[in-house]
Structures are given as structure tokens and as C-alpha cells.
Structure 1
Amino acid sequence: MKPIVKIMKSDSEIMSTFSTLKQLRPHLTEDNFLGIIRRLQDNYGFNIVTVIENDEVKAVAGYRITESLAWGNYFYLDDLITDEKSRQKGYAHTLWDWLISKAKENDCEQFHLDSGVHRHEAHRFYLKSGLDITCHHFQKTL
């Protein structure tokens, strides 16, 4: 069966992404996951999209379309992860192409993401996919 890209909407669809997203965000728990996603959806227009093949989640992305004074209307990719058992099979590329198309379809002027400094493999993917490193992100834990 050919992989499909699907926006996950129902509680059960969203929960089906948990084990894959947890590989990127290990602090998440199954108990609080759905509540966090619903708050992100309600407050920030967050969406979860997946690549599914043979009824299995192969890759997951979390994104939102938003606006700022600095960047105008832009697409922000919060999360992108391929399930560890499904890497190197093209699922990330399938999802990436869908995300870029979605950004263009929504008249986004720019496409943004942040990536941890230790995620070298992800950085190679982003650079090969046409992204530029344009700023530093700073944080302070409070």
C-alpha cells in the first residue's frame, strides 16, 4: 500500500502519533498528550500531520500557520520525526513535500523551524531541502 499523508483530527488519530512524537519529545506522557495537543490547536492553530502506510504511523509533523511583525504570514514547523523503525525510507521527504505545499497553498511568505544544536542529521536534511540558517535562537529556563 502506498503511503498517504493525513491530518490527524480525532482523539484516536492524535493518540496514534504519540509513540512516534515521544521519540522527539521524551518529556511527553500519554496521560497529558491529548490535552496539550488540544490546547495547542485551540490557542495556536496547531495541526498534526502524518505519513501512514499499512495503517502504521511512519512520520509525524506538528505545524501552525501564523503571523508576526518580523516575518509576515509564515509556516512554523514545531515537530518533525520519522519513527525510528521507519527511517531512511523516504517518509520524511514525503511529509516535507506536503508541508512545503501546504505553506504555499496558505500564502505563507516564509517557512520556519528551530532545531536542537545536537540534531546534526536533521540539519543535513533541512539544508538539503533548501532551508538556510538565518538566526540564532536564545532561551533561558525560568
Structure 2
Amino acid sequence: MKYKTAKNNEDLKLFFPVLKELRPHLSFEEYLSIYQEAHARDQYEMVALVENEKILALMGYRVLCDFVRGRHLYIDDLVSVEKSKGHGAQLLSYAEEKARELECTGGLRLCAVLENTGGIKFYEKNGWKARAFAFVKKPL
């Protein structure tokens, strides 16, 4: 198995079907547009766990800095093609290594929607602690 970081539109095209499992509302055009803006503004990166040219899992992340955590790695997207194979956990380990490499002294952070009980159990099993509620509101 190896890790592959998206470097061009060909890689993004390869990653899209896997990310679409997590974000089914996205068209390919929206996906490209959002990726390009997030990559330019926040250095958002996508990395895939690949075996025999098949993507097993995919993660999107960026480095943020705020008053709560300082510099930290934020995981926006994490999806495994086959559940319970350990691929998601491998990407979380990759994220920890990347956080050390990028000097993210505030650690790592992610959000999981409350209805995602399977995801929440997965994160807890992998040593993550629930520390906050995330609130959202659309502008009127």
C-alpha cells in the first residue's frame, strides 16, 4: 500500500468517485471548483491510500491556526471504500505524522455529524475524544 497525494486534475478525477461516497451531493464541476479554492486559500490537500492502483480510502485536510488550538491539522474528509479493513485508521495515522511534520503543536481536529454514530465510534476507537458541539446556521 502507498499514499498518493492529489497533484493534478488527473489525480482529482481518480479521487472523485471515492469522495462522492462521502459527499454525494457534489457534481464533478463543484468538486473541482471547491478543491481549487480550498487548496489555494487553505492549502487543502487530498491523500489516498492506494493498493494495486485501487483507492482504498481518502482523506482531505488542511492546517488551521486559531486561538483555541493554535496551529493544528484539520481533517475535513475521511472515507473508506471498504469498511472495517483498517484503511481509515491508517489515514488517521498518516494525519498524525503529517501534523508532526507540519509542526501542528495544537494537534489534530475534525468534526463528525451527530447522526454519524458509526463514525463517532470509529474515531473514539482510534483515540479521539469528543470535545465540542459544532453549530451551523445559514444566513437569512
Q: Structure 1 CA distance, aligned partners of 2:125 and 2:85?
A: 16
TM-score (normalised: structure 2): 0.93
Partner in structure 1 of residue 72 of structure 2: 74
Partner in structure 2 of residue 121 of structure 1: 118
1:13 aligns with 2:5: no
Percent identity over paired residues: 28
Partner in structure 2 of residue 32 of structure 1: 30
Determine helix, strand or coil for the equivalent of 2:132.
coil
CA RMSD of aligned residues (A): 1.1
How many residue pairs get aligned? The number is 138
Q: Structure 1 CA distance, aligned partners of 2:122 and 2:62?
A: 20
- Give 5+ residue unaligned stretches, structure 2: none
- After TM superposition, list the pairs within 5 Å mapping 1:75-90 onto structure 2: 75-83=73-81, 86-90=82-86
Partner in structure 1 of residue 107 of structure 2: 110
Which stretches of structure 1, 4 residues or longer, exceed 4 Å deviation after superposition?
none
Q: Structure 2 CA distance, aligned partners of 1:136 and 1:4?
A: 34
Partner in structure 2 of residue 46 of structure 1: 44
Q: Structure 2 CA distance, aligned partners of 1:14 and 1:97?
A: 22
- Give 5+ residue unaligned stretches, structure 1: none
Shift of 1:141: 2.3
